[in-house]
Amino acid sequence: MRSWQRMFVAVMRLLLKCLRLGRRRRFKLLRQVEQLWHYGNLCLLSLLYNSFTNSDVVLDSLFEPIYWLVDHVTRWFGVVFVALVIGLTSSIVAIVYICLLPLILQTYTPAWICWHLAYGHWNLIMIVFHYYMAITTSPGHPPQAKDDLGGVSICRKCIAPKPARTHHCSICNRCVLKMDHHCQAAWLNNCVGHYNHRYFFSFCLFMTMGCIYCSVSGWGVSRAASAAIETYYQTPPPTFSFRQRAFHKSVVYLWVLCSSVALALGALTLWHAALITRGETSIERHINKKERQRLQKKGKVFRNPYSYGGWDNWKVFLGVDVPRHWLTRVLLPSLHL
C-alpha cells in the first residue's frame, strides 16, 4: 500500500474516532441535562407536596392574597355596621317616643296603653341587653396549654390545640370554640361561638319581634302619612307645617325600615332556629352534609354526635335546667353561662 493511501486510511480512522467521541459526549451531555431536569422536578415536588395537598389546597394558596385583602378590609366593616345599627335603632326608638307614643296615649284604651308600654319597653330592654352582650362577650378560645390534651388535633394555622367543634377564624386570626360564623352581616363585629351564640340568637329574635311590633302598630298611621305625602305635589299644595311633614316622613321611614329588617332578620332567625333544633352550627351544617352524603353512598346513616333531640337541643342551647329558667333565663335578661 502506498504511503498516501496509508495516510488517507489513518486520517479516516481518526475522523471516525472523533465522530464516535463527539457522539458519546453529546449523548452524555443530553443524559446529564435530563438527569438535572428530573432532579429539579423532584426537589420542587418534595418542597411543595404533602399528604393533605389537593385541588382545594392549591386554589386556597392561589387566592391567599385575595383572602388577606378581604379579611383586613372587612374588619373595618364591622365597626361601621355597629355604628349603623346603633344609629338606626336609636332613630326608630326616637320616632316611636316622639310620634307614635303620643297617639297611643290619646286614642287607645287604658288596657291597650298598659300593654303597649309593657311589651314595648320589655322588647327594647331585651334587644339592647342581648346586643350589648353579643358584642362584648368573647366567643371562647381553646386553651393554649398542651398538657393532658391527648387525642386533640392541632390547628394548622395557629399551631395550637383544636378541640372538637373548634374552627379557625381568618378575620380574628384565632381558633374559636363551637364557632358558628364571624358576624358582620348581623352587625356584631364579633365571632359567634360557644359563649355568645345564645346572645346572638336572642338579639336576632327580639329585634325581629320588635320590628314586627313597630310595623303592625304603625301600619295605619303610615298609610295615612303616605297618602298625605302624595298630596305634597298637588296644585294648590296642602298647607302642612314643617312639623307635620316631618311627622309624615318619619312614620313612613319607620314602617319601611322595620318591615325590611323584619323580613331579612326574620329569615336569618328561622335559619338559625332550624340549626339549633338539629344541634348544628352554620359551619357544621356543611361538614355534616358532606359526611351524610359520603356515608349514604356506603349504605350507612349519619348521626350527629352533638344532637340530643330537638327539644333537648334548645334546652342545652338556652341553658334551661329547670322549668323556672324559661322565665328567668329566656324571657328576662340573664348572664348565665
Distances, alpha carbon 173 to alpha carbons 72, 152, 164, in Å: 11, 20, 18
Of 169, 183, 191, 214, the active-site residue reads 183
Write down how long the chain is.
337
Whole-angstrom Cα distance, residue 228 to residue 257? Answer: 19
Q: How many CB atoms lie within 10 A of CB 174?
A: 18
Higher-pLDDT residue of 292, 234: 292
Would you state the pLDDT for residue 238?
A: 76
Catalytic-residue membership of 175: no
pLDDT digits (tens, 9 = 90+) for 207-260: 999 999 999 988 888 888 888 888 877 777 778 788 888 888 899 999 999 999
Whole-angstrom Cα distance, residue 110 to residue 97? Answer: 18
pLDDT reading at 61 higher than 80: no
Distances, alpha carbon 203 to alpha carbons 60, 98, 155, 290, in Å: 34, 24, 31, 30
Backbone phi and psi for residue 243, each to the nearest 5 degrees, phi listed first: -65, -40
pLDDT reading at 306 higher than 70: yes
pLDDT reading at 130 higher than 90: yes
Whole-angstrom Cα distance, residue 244 to residue 241? Answer: 5
Would you state the pLDDT for residue 191?
A: 85
Mean pLDDT of the chain: 81
pLDDT reading at 120 higher than 80: yes
| Winning range, highest mean pLDDT, from 39-48, 95-104, 199-208, 243-252 | 199-208
